[in-house]
Amino acid sequence: MKKERLFAGKTLAILSGGGDTPAINSSIEAIRNRASMLGFKVYGILRGWKGLLGNGDVVDLTNIPYNGIYGGTGLLSSRTNPFPGKTNKEDRSDQILRNIERYKIDVLVTIGGDDTNGAAKEMYKRFGIPVIGFPKTIDNDLRTRTMHLYQGKQHEVVLCPGFASGAMQIKKLAAKLHTTNESHQRIMVLEVMGRDAGWLTGTAMFGGAQMALIPEVVVTKERKDFFFEKVKENYMSNPKRSLLIAVSEGVRWYNDDKDAIEMVYASSDLDEYGHPRFGGVSGVIASEINKKLGIEARGQISGYIPRSGKCYEYDRRLTSTLADKVVDLLLRGEYGKMPVMRNIVPYCELEEFHTDAIEMGNVGNFPLPAPYYNHNEFQFSEQYVDFLTNIIGEPYRMEFNHQFPVVIP
């Protein structure tokens, strides 16, 4: 007699919502492979929650080759919110429920940040839809309750799929920018994504950024004066007379003209979860450096670079480890939860049973804890260096250090 697989006849559907990361396809591939092995038919829902509105937009992933190294998401993404929000007043959860029934979806896995997974949690709480959340964000600010062992003590940090790949891109970009910056003896202000948290901005330090500003530490009037002093000091003490400063896009910056703390937006239009789009603070800071210190400065927005390109090895293994935990949740029939890493571990230890499952709603905006940033030096601390070294390896910096003999005529 043919032995049926455990979930034969059942359907698991996957969707991805919110900003993409280079690790989403890898997550989809890992979840799909495991779900297929358990006997599920596996569907992909296109464009996040949007793919469950109207008549639905659903594809079959069960036996299709899937390239998890290619970044972004093959299932496409959107910031659609099924529930009423700031820009969308309509409750569309009934459409979602109808489509879950029409497509005969038994389990829904939502790859997302706090918005997408928060909405999934609501579907679970209000209507009992079996959902499992899967974390993702390059900002690395979901509360994954991951612990970092540093100097004999445990510290709560964050580890989200997508962060490692984004970090590699920022590290490489920062390392490259020195060549142009040094050639012109400039100060360059490199803007890095991160609305509310500086986790990703710190990765520029691994490419040689000498100073950093993060959203967690507000740049008040007084702090701004102190910042300019430090900028001058660091620039003048560098024999190359150049300086790379990394700033988070969401840095809270004192505006002299308005006598107010501000964030700089590329557009004030809100998405369906109520977020405006950041962009431009690097230009503002560079022009103020120019004006106040008389040193030539430029802004550089890294924009979508950390979200682009391939999925790096750490994220490959992380997504596969977390997908193993999804299997565990499926086997236990535990829903409304999200797999996470319990500890920060180096690449080689990722698959050694360090996972856990946490409640998947309201895990947003976990800031960089104070010991990970040195206020006085405007720089990330040794503790942060230890944290990130586990994930992306040692800092890297190309050097051009020739001392040319001066010619006396």
Produce one character per residue of 136-163: b if its CB has 16 or more CB atoms within 10 Å, e if not: bbbbbbbbbbbbbebeeeebebbbbbbb
Q: Which two tokens stand for residue 125?
A: 């709480």
CA 236 vs. chain centroid, Å, equals: 34
* 30 contacts 23 by C-beta, under 8 angstroms: no
When binding is defined by CB under 6 A, the residue of 107, 132, 193, 245 that contacts ligand F6P is: 193
Query: Locate tokens 């405006």: which residue?
Result: 276
> Interface with ligand F6P includes 196 (CB under 6 A)?
no
Helix (H) or strand (E) holding 244: strand 243-248
CA 69 vs. chain centroid, Å, equals: 17
> Interface with ligand F6P includes 278 (CB under 6 A)?
yes
When binding is defined by CB under 6 A, the residue of 27, 137, 201, 203 that contacts ligand F6P is: 137
Shortest spacing between CB 117 and ligand F6P, in angstroms: 13
Which residues between 85 and 114 bind ligand F6P (CB under 6 A)?
none
* 119 contacts 49 by C-beta, under 8 angstroms: yes
Produce one character per residue of 370-397: b if its CB has 16 or more CB atoms within 10 Å, e if not: eebbeeeebbbbebbbbbbebbbeebee
When binding is defined by CB under 6 A, the residue of 96, 138, 159, 285 that contacts ligand F6P is: 138
Instruction: Kindly state the greatest CA–CA separation across the chain.
Output: 97
Nearer of residues 56 and 361 to ligand F6P, judged by Cβ: 361
> Interface with ligand F6P includes 19 (CB under 6 A)?
yes
Pairing state between β 131-135 and 107-112: parallel
Q: By beta-carbon distance, which residue lies closest to ligand F6P?
A: 19
Identity of the amino acid at 282: S
Shortest spacing between CB 278 and ligand F6P, in angstroms: 5
Q: How many residues bind ligand F6P (CB under 6 A)?
A: 11
Which listed range, 7-15, 68-76, 193-201, 355-363, lies at the site for ligand F6P (CB under 6 A)? 193-201
Shortest spacing between CB 229 and ligand F6P, in angstroms: 30
* 164 contacts 22 by C-beta, under 8 angstroms: no
Which listed range, 55-63, 150-158, 190-198, 336-344, lies at the site for ligand F6P (CB under 6 A)? 190-198
R_g of the chain, CA atoms, integer Å:
23
Helix (H) or strand (E) holding 149: strand 146-150
Shortest spacing between CB 307 and ligand F6P, in angstroms: 6
When binding is defined by CB under 6 A, the residue of 139, 182, 216, 272 that contacts ligand F6P is: 139
Nearer of residues 278 and 314 to ligand F6P, judged by Cβ: 278
Nearer of residues 9 and 274 to ligand F6P, judged by Cβ: 274
Cα–Cα distance, 372 to 214 (Å, whole number): 11
Which residues between 220 and 259 bind ligand F6P (CB under 6 A)?
249
Residues labelled as active-site residues:
139
> Interface with ligand F6P includes 18 (CB under 6 A)?
yes
Q: Which two tokens stand for residue 325?
A: 């935990």
When binding is defined by CB under 6 A, the residue of 10, 195, 240, 342 that contacts ligand F6P is: 195
Shortest spacing between CB 155 and ligand F6P, in angstroms: 23
Shortest spacing between CB 374 and ligand F6P, in angstroms: 23
Shortest spacing between CB 18 and ligand F6P, in angstroms: 5
Query: Locate tokens 């206020």: which residue?
Result: 375
Nearer of residues 29 and 114 to ligand F6P, judged by Cβ: 114
Cα–Cα distance, 354 to 339 (Å, whole number): 10
* 45 contacts 58 by C-beta, under 8 angstroms: yes
Nearer of residues 142 and 231 to ligand F6P, judged by Cβ: 142
Which listed range, 39-47, 192-200, 312-320, 352-360, lies at the site for ligand F6P (CB under 6 A)? 192-200
Which residues of this protein are in contact with ligand F6P, per CB under 6 A? 18-19, 137-139, 193-195, 249, 277-278
